[in-house]
Structure 1
Amino acid sequence: MITQKRKFLYQPQPTTSVICWSWTVIVLLVGVIIWLEITQFQNITLAFFIAFAGLTWIQIYFRKLLVWSDTIEIRQVLNPFGKQLSLQSISRVQAHRNSIAFNAGGRRYKFLLPANSVIELQELLGQFGKQEDDHAS
């Protein structure tokens, strides 16, 4: 039983993460291109830089894993209210240095997290699910 709500910031699977961040960097590059074409810093360039900063903040802040009592909630950018999974339904927990993967509800989930978050989340999920430790990177 987990007594307090734990929050982990994550990034999605590597392929999804690369695609999302590539589109975000395109906003920055468009701002730089407009700036270089006009040769003076204009309001439109500032708008693109602010949009880039906003998109970056949104992609970091809205991706959360919340773990409490017997539930894990996966919040995403396009689904900020999240998807709730029972910790008892989690199986095959696999932890690598900067990622963790598990099965739940017939689906495979994989997340990129900081190393210390992977260790803590693995301990929390390991209390409920069958674990498979992989320490290879």
Structure 2
Amino acid sequence: MNNSKHTFKYQPNLASSLIVWSWTLLILMIGIVWWLETLKLKWPLVLIFGIFIVLCVVQIGLRQVTIDRNLMIFSTVLNRSWLVIPRDQLELITAVKGGVQVRIDGNDYRFLMPKKSRNQLINLAQNN
């Protein structure tokens, strides 16, 4: 068994990603509309764009899959009760278009990942 810790970035399933990123882009649109209405760079406008950038960094940076010893840990942005899966209880992990599908206790979870990360994650999860 490989005792090293591996971390990969992911996004939630397509529907959840569209909803979350739409709300994030709404903040950007508010900033753009405000800027076009005033045509001046004011501090509230800089604050709105700053909030947008911080939200993007948080959404990309905090969603991680970590494989540490015999655990798969899917971290989330707001919910601190992360999905922690012992690898021996993992029923199924398969590659699907654009990501990975994980089954635990009869519940299916889909995550969007790059192909290279997806393949590495599947190999690490299946090699106990």
Shorter-normalised TM range: over 0.9
> For the residues of structure 1 that align with 2:37 and 2:52, how far apart are their CA atoms?
19
Q: Does structure 1 retain, via aligned residues, the 8 Å contact 2:62–2:75? A: yes
Tell me how far apart the structure 2 counterparts of residues 66 and 76 of structure 1 sit (CA, whole Å): 12
TM-score (norm 2): 0.93
TM-score, length basis structure 1: 0.87
By how many angstroms is 1:81 displaced? 6.2
Q: Do 1:97 and 1:118's aligned partners in 2 also have CA atoms closer than 8 Å?
A: no
Unaligned runs of 5+ in 1: 129-137
Secondary structure of 1:44 counterpart: helix
Q: CA deviation at 1:105?
A: 2.7
Q: How many residues were matched structurally?
A: 128
Amino acid paired to 1:28? L
Runs of 4+ in 1 over 3 A off after TM superposition: none
Higher RCO structure, 1 or 2 (CA under 8 Å, sep 6+): 2
Q: Partners in 1 of 2:83 and 2:111 — Cα distance? A: 14
Please give the alpha-carbon distance, in whole angstroms, between the structure 1 residues aligned to 2:48 and 2:97: 35
Equivalent pair of 1:2/1:70 in contact (CA under 8 Å):
no
Q: Which residue of 1 aligns with 2:104?
A: 104
Tell me how far 1:51 sits from its aligned partner. 0.4
Unaligned runs of 5+ in 2: none
Asked whether 1:61 is paired with 2:61, we answer yes
